[in-house]
Amino acid sequence: MDNTLILKLVLTPVLIGGASLAGRKWGHAVSGWIVAFPLTSGPVVFFIALAHGGNFALNTSLGIMSGGFSLAIFALSYAWVAVKYKWPVAVFVSIGLFLLTTFILKSIFIPLWPLFFSILAVFALTLFLMPKHKAGVTEEVEVPHWDLPARMIITTLFVFLLTELAPLTGARLAGLLSTLPIMTATLTVFAHHQHGHASANEVIRGLVMGLFSFAFFYLALSLLLPINIALAFISAIIASLVVQGIALWLIQNRNNTVSAF
C-alpha cells in the first residue's frame, strides 16, 4: 500500500468526522468550508512531486485546478435540484454532471493565468446563482448513533476506490478526478436527508466560498513547483490559509447578519 493511499485512508475519516462535528456546532456552511481545503488532492501532488519531480507534478496541479470547473457544476446543480427533489436525485444529477464536465476538460488545456482568473470568476458566479434562503435555519432532528461512523466509512470507501483507479487514468485525468467531491457529497447528503435542502445548500455554499483558497493553493504550486518543491508547498499552504480565513470571516458575518433579524 503506497504512502498516498495510507494518508488518504487515515486523513479522510478524520476530516469527514471533524467537518461533520463542526457542522453540528457552528453550522452546515462551516463543514463545507472545512472540506474545501485541498487535504486530499494536495497530498497527491506532493507524493507525485517527490516521486517524479516538480515539472511532472505541475501537470497534475494544473489538472486539479481545472477541476474547479467541475466542482462549480456539482455545487450549482445539487443546490438547484435539491430545491425540488430529495437527495438521491440531487446527488445522482450533480455527480453525473461533475463527471461529464471532467471528461470534457480532459482534452482542454488552459494556460495558468487565464485558468486561475476563470476559476475565480466561475466560483463567484456560482455563489451568485445559488438559490437564496436564510442561513442557519434548520429543523432539529435526533441524530442516530450510527450517523458519524456511516459518514466516515462511506467517504473512506469512495476515496479508496478512487485512489485505486487513479493510476489507470493518466496524470491530467487523475488530477481532475482527485477533485471528485466525495466528502462534500457525503456531508451534503446527510444534511439534506436530516435537515432539508436549505441545510444542504449551506454545505454547498460553504464549499464554494472555501474553494477560492483552493484556486490560490494551486496557483502557488503551479508557479513554484518547477523551482522548488518545499517552497511551493509552504507558499501554497500560507496562501490557502489566508484566503480560507477571509472566507470563514465572511461565512460567520453572513450567519450573524441573518441571526440579527
Are the C-beta atoms of residues 221 and 239 closer than 8 Å to each other? Answer: no
Rounded to an integer, what distance in angstroms lies between the CA atom of residue 197 and that of residue 168? 36
Rounded to an integer, what distance in angstroms lies between the CA atom of residue 122 and that of residue 117? 9
Please count the structural domains in the chain. Answer: 1
Range of the domain at 116: 3-136+143-259
Torsion of CA 102, 201, 158, 179, to 10 degrees: 30
Are the C-beta atoms of residues 204 and 75 closer than 8 Å to each other? Answer: yes
pTM to 2 decimal places: 0.77
* Per-residue pLDDT tens digits of the chain, which is 261 residues long: 555 566 667 766 776 666 566 666 656 566 666 666 776 677 777 777 877 777 877 887 888 898 899 999 999 999 999 999 998 999 999 999 998 998 888 888 889 999 999 999 999 999 999 987 654 444 444 555 666 676 677 667 766 665 566 556 665 666 677 777 777 777 788 888 777 888 888 888 888 888 898 899 999 999 999 899 899 999 998 998 898 888 777 766 755 554 443
